[in-house]
Amino acid sequence: MAYIDYYKVLGIDKKATADEIKKAYRKLARKYHPDVNPGDKESERKFKELNEANEVLSNAANRTKYDQYGEHWKHGEQYEQAHQQQRSQQSRQAGGYGGFSESDFGEGADFSDFFQSMFGGGGGFSGGSRGSASGKFKGQDVEANLTLQLRDAAKTHQQTFDINGKKVRITIPAGIANGQKIRLKGHGNPGHNGGPSGDLFITFNIMEDHQFKRVGNDLSTDLEIDLYTAILGGETLVKTLDGTVNLKVKPETQNGTRVKLKGKGFPVYKKEGEFGDLYVTYVVKTPTNLTDKEKDLFLQLKNLAI
């Protein structure tokens, strides 16, 4: 496995703060997103690396392991456990690193190629000094990232993956959250010595939407209304995820007024028929290019208010 410097991928220093990591990722993700660079394989590769780097470095625990073990950070705890077992084994018997068996590590243990090379097990761990393979080991888990538009994440739909030469179709439930991870058992790398395959973990990245901002299951949006509607009241249309709603504007509505449309927000994950709310903030638009008559009328209003 080639080493990838995730700090270099994001263009940040190893002492970067969580906020600096977040800003760097967002900036580069916009630049290399497949929707911005359709058909560009290099941009697609860069975007995948960015997602991997962000997944590791934005999580404090994962970042600590990565700083210590590099690309083998997922196996850090297993490495430490095996290293302690190896030292104990050496004190009990002479000769190399032989003598490890499945019972030393627990059934279904998963080791990286780096770890196996450290302890002389190119094809699995030996059951004795003869070096013959014994014990079944679970295959390595596979991590994947899937980027969705906000509107796609709001509906149940299917996606197809090509994993280890096999087509894997999954159904993505409506309401999936940004950063949420799902597990597909047995869709990772093949096991060793007849052991079970690893699992596939898919992390979802939900892109920001130009109209709606999502917080949990609620959505918020800005809605422009003209000055006359704000003062006198009236009706206006507001877009929702599934259409438009006729909204009544109260007279003397102030700029920045916020109203709630119950049940017009984001679908709740795996709870069919349940939705969050939509919050609409009025932005009162001041008229421009006034005629002399219009200016005179505003002046009369001003004098009346004095």
For residue 81, being part of any structural domain is answered with no
Is there a single domain that holds both residue 236 and residue 254? yes
- Residues near 129 by Cβ (< 8 Å), separated by ≥ 6? 95, 98, 99
More confident residue, 109 or 39: 39
Cα(91)–Cα(218) distance, rounded to whole angstroms?
A: 60
C-beta of residue 119 within 8 angstroms of C-beta of residue 86: yes
* pLDDT of 155 over the 90 cut: yes
For residue 24, being part of any structural domain is answered with yes
Is there a single domain that holds both residue 272 and residue 226? yes
% of the chain with per-residue pLDDT over 70: 77
Total domains, the chain: 3
Across 47-56, 121-130, 286-295, least confident range: 121-130
For the entire predicted model, the pTM comes to: 0.54
Is there a single domain that holds both residue 189 and residue 227? no
* pLDDT of 79 over the 70 cut: no
Is there a single domain that holds both residue 10 and residue 36? yes
What CATH number is attached to the domain comprising 11? 1.10.287.110
For residue 109, being part of any structural domain is answered with no
Instruction: Look up the domain containing 156 and give its range.
Output: 137-208
Cα(283)–Cα(249) distance, rounded to whole angstroms?
A: 12
The confidence band for 66, taking pLDDT boundaries of 50, 70 and 90, is confident
Burial class (CB in 10 A: 0-12, 13-18, 19+), 137: buried
For residue 250, being part of any structural domain is answered with yes
What CATH number is attached to the domain comprising 170? 2.60.260.20
